[in-house]
């Protein structure tokens, strides 16, 4: 629902280090760490940051990372750890599930903070009280602790507990030529960068295990092998996550981004075969394609929660899964490739609560990396030609009352601008994808607030039909008829609802006279 306009202020600092101990006995543990601190977003008085801690010393069962802010910044909210702050001194301890940190392993956490005047990146850190200020001493126990053998997480379906990324293998990724994705990605220096929610990557391999090479301290992912979910990765950082103990045969692997990150790009550099195995040629593209355009409903905002107040169960991000949102589920049911182009809180002409009046969803629709400082128009490689485009924009335009200072004095004036902008947006889609693509305008029940949303969508369809375009249709999600519970975070659709809505959308699309 509500969203800030994130400013892409990307500041990063890294310290690669180990404590130079004066004496290391036979049973002593050599300490060492590398810290990457990234300001992922910044706005007046506040900022978001992600921190990755790599253990370069011996394995530890618990960790505590310390640093000092240099300009009076404070941590307001932190996830994947517990924080205490006294003056400038900050101490972050592990959460219950991520305390064990093997040699070479990386753990990540994020936080929102406040600042005034300036927001410099810290330059010195401590791990469990030992300064990170130089390389691990040669010949210390930790200098040879890392093995090239992949770690061995279970290949069974994951629970709600976050998976623990394994140390990177010594074998480099096989390359992106063996990875398939229909998503909006940018390839830079051998990695794929991306921000849009739900982007996914598919591969094939032979052998008993596969590694997933990632660099992302902001997002959560789902990993699937042979169609079964084997792990949920929570802000994995820079790592290669391994799935081992599989049958020695040919398998499929799929990585999907669960969460939203318009201000920071994730990076994927490919799949890695376990020793004795091989990455095979990439899977073929599916002939069916569906584009999903929308807001928080389409992005899967808080859909994994079973309570509307998510403050005590991990927050919105931990409970969001674009890969299980109704649009993604419907596309899978249809056997189609899909793109999810969605951003929570944004509308066609008006954002939730009247925020950020200078931008709307249309400001970012064409971009490859959304609002990132170096975003550009996504260059369609010519292979993305969806037969169906599903648009769900308007909840944020109409769900909150108009406020003083907005450009619309009445809801009718807002509705008129909404219709004008929507018609222009449809014209863009029609020019881009041709006359045969079906464009489905979806809308839920907002009649308890206003009927302007529903009537505007219906008028848009009628206007296009009057212009001879009969392939613009509308689909109404009736709360009562569908039996939606809205138990997702902040009254959003739950996974229960997403499955029901996906069924309705699949039935609707199957009823269209498509020849795909």
Confirm if 418 and 458 have CB atoms less than 8 A apart. no
- C-alpha 399/C-alpha 385 separation (Å) is 32
Rg (C-alpha) for the chain, rounded Å, is: 24
Distances (CA, A) of 28 to 41, 133, 205: 40, 19, 41
Contacts for 132 with CB less than 8 Å, ≥ 6 apart: 15, 16, 17, 18, 19, 32, 33, 34, 35, 124, 125, 126
Kindly list the strands in the beta sheet with 237-243, ordered across the sheet, starting from the edge strand earlier in the chain.
186-188, 191-194, 266-273, 210-216, 237-243
* Residue 383: other Cβ atoms inside 10 A: 9
Which residues in 69-134 belong to E strands, given as ranges?
74-79, 81-86, 89-94, 106-114, 125-127, 130-131
What are the Cα distances from residue 448, in Å, to 79, 297, 416, 444?
36, 18, 20, 11
Closest listed residue to residue 289, CA positions, set 435, 389, 434 = 389
Residue 12 structure tokens: 């990063």
| Strands across the sheet containing 106-114 | 11-18, 32-43, 46-55, 106-114, 74-79
Q: Active-site positions?
A: 296
Q: Is 220 helix (H, G, I), strand (E, B) or coil?
A: strand
């Amino acid at each position: 629902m509500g969203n800030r306009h994130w400013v892409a202020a990307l500041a990063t600092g890294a310290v690669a280090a180990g404590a130079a101990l004066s004496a290391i006995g036979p049973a002593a543990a050599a300490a060492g760490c590398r810290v990457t601190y990234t300001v992922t977003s910044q706005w007046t008085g506040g900022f978001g940051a992600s921190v990755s801690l790599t253990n370069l010393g011996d394995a530890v069962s618990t960790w505590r990372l310390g640093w000092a802010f240099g300009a009076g910044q404070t941590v307001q909210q932190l996830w994947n750890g517990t924080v205490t702050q006294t003056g400038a001194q900050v101490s972050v301890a592990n959460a219950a599930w991520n305390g064990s940190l093997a040699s070479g392993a990386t753990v990540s956490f994020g936080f929102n903070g406040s600042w005034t005047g300036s927001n410099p990146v810290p330059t010195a850190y401590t791990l469990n009280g030992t300064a990170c200020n130089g390389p691990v001493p040669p010949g210390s126990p930790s200098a040879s602790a890392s093995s090239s053998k992949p770690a061995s997480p279970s290949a069974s379906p994951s629970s709600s507990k976050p998976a623990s990324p394994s140390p990177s293998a010594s074998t480099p990724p096989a390359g992106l030529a063996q990875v398939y994705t229909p998503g909006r990605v940018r390839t830079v220096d051998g990695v794929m960068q991306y921000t849009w929610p739900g982007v996914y990557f598919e591969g094939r391999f032979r052998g008993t295990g596969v590694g997933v090479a990632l660099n992302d301290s902001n997002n959560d992912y789902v990993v699937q092998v042979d169609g079964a979910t084997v792990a949920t990765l929570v802000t994995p950082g820079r790592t290669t996550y391994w799935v081992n103990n599989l049958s020695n045969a040919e398998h499929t692997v799929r990585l999907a981004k669960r969460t939203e990150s318009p201000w920071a790009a994730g990076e994927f550099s490919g799949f890695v075969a376990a020793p004795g195995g091989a990455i095979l040629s990439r899977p073929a593209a599916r002939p069916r394609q569906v584009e999903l355009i929308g807001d928080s409903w389409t992005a899967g905002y808080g859909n994994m929660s079973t309570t509307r107040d998510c403050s005590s169960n991990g927050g919105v991000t931990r409970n969001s899964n674009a890969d299980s949102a109704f649009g993604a589920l419907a596309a899978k049911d249809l056997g189609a490739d899909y793109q999810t182009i969605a951003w929570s809180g944004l509308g066609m002409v008006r954002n939730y609560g009247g925020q950020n009046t200078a931008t709307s969803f249309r400001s970012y629709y064409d971009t490859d990396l959304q609002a990132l400082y170096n975003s550009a128009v996504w260059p369609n490689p010519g292979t993305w030609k969806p037969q169906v485009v599903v648009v769900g924009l308007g909840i944020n335009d109409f769900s909150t009352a108009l406020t003083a200072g907005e450009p619309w004095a009445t809801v009718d004036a807002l509705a008129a601008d909404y219709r004008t902008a929507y018609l222009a947006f449809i014209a863009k889609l029609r020019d881009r994808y041709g006359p045969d693509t079906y464009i489905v305008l979806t809308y839920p029940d907002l009649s308890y607030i206003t009927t302007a949303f529903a009537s505007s969508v219906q008028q848009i369809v009628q206007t296009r039909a009057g212009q001879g375009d009969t392939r613009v249709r509308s689909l109404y999600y009736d709360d009562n008829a569908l039996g939606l519970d809205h138990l997702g975070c902040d009254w959003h659709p739950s996974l229960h609802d997403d499955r029901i809505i996906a069924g309705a959308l699949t039935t609707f699309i199957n009823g269209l006279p498509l020849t795909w």
